[in-house]
Amino acid sequence: MSIKPIGVFDSGLGGLSVWRELIKILPNEHIIYYADSANCPYGQKSKEEIIELAKQIVELLLQKECKMIVVACNTATAAAIDYLRKNYSVPFIGMEPAVKPASLNSKTKSIAVLATEGTFNGRLYLETSARFAKDVKINIKVGDGLVDIVENNLILEENTRKHLSELVQPLVNLNVDHMVLGCTHYPFLIPVLKKILPRKVKIIDPAPAVVKQAYRVLESNQILNTQKIQPGYIFYTSGDEKLLDRFLKNLTKKKYSIYKV
């Protein structure tokens, strides 16, 4: 069981921000990644639509004998993680906006969360915010257009900088000192955000914490692969495999295979 792959899926390429952390922390694990770019973005889809898409992807990953599945998408986690855990026997790791560390470490008692509409409406976000941010002002902003910018590899375009600046400036004006990235696409925008935000604003990418949780779950279920092997990285996409390939070439020097589904 331990040498079977880990499955990872996202609405598109955003979950690669989690994948790049997984291969650092879990270098002996085979990983199968599914990018549902044909149906991206998920942000404004209904809960029922997202659950149906997630079911189809999970069943494909289980056919590939995945021992654990990482839902590397905040919107899909918010909509579907409870359903998936109830209906499938493998462990699932979900995304959660890192409101807790931002709230606990905020000096100004004002933090920002940049996410999709679907994430803000999800149980995990609402429960975490209510529990850990009682004395902290949470200023939320829907990242309109940001997923499409990452999916189409327009990150370094001047229009992207202008658009991001317009989105985050109202949050800066509210004296925030932490910005939580509540969508796995958004960490790819960190180089641009760093040029826009004041130095006092700490940007929080939840991916490292999520991968640490994945490690703990693998260990506690005794399915962590401790054998030193050459891992295989397989990617499936419902979208443009050339776009995925270009994105991966900029992200890693690891060998991988891409298949269109």
* Residue with tokens 């910005």, as numbered in its chain: 179
If residue 61 lies in a helix (H) or strand (E), which one and from where to where? Answer: helix 47-63
Q: Where does residue 232 fall: left (phi above 0), alpha (psi -120 to 50 degrees), or beta otherwise?
A: beta
SS3 197: coil
66 is catalytic: no
Active-site residue (options: 26, 31, 73, 164): 73
Catalytic member of 72, 79, 93, 183: 183
Chain mean position to CA 40 = 13
Say which residues have a Cβ less than 8 Å from residue 34's Cβ, sequence separation at least 6: 7, 8, 9, 10, 57, 60, 61, 235, 236, 237, 238, 261
Q: How far is CA 49 from the centre of its chain?
A: 19
Tokens 């699932």 sit on residue: 92
Please provide residue 94's backbone torsions phi and psi, each rounded to the nearest 5 degrees: -115, 170
Tell me the sheet residues that pair with 45.
none
Close Cβ partners of 236 (under 8 Å, ≥ 6 residues apart): 32, 33, 34, 35, 60, 258, 259, 260, 261
The question of whether 73 is a catalytic residue gets the answer yes
The phi-psi region of residue 140 (left if phi > 0; otherwise alpha if psi is between -120 and 50; otherwise beta) is beta
Question: Mind telling me the catalytic residues?
Answer: 73, 183
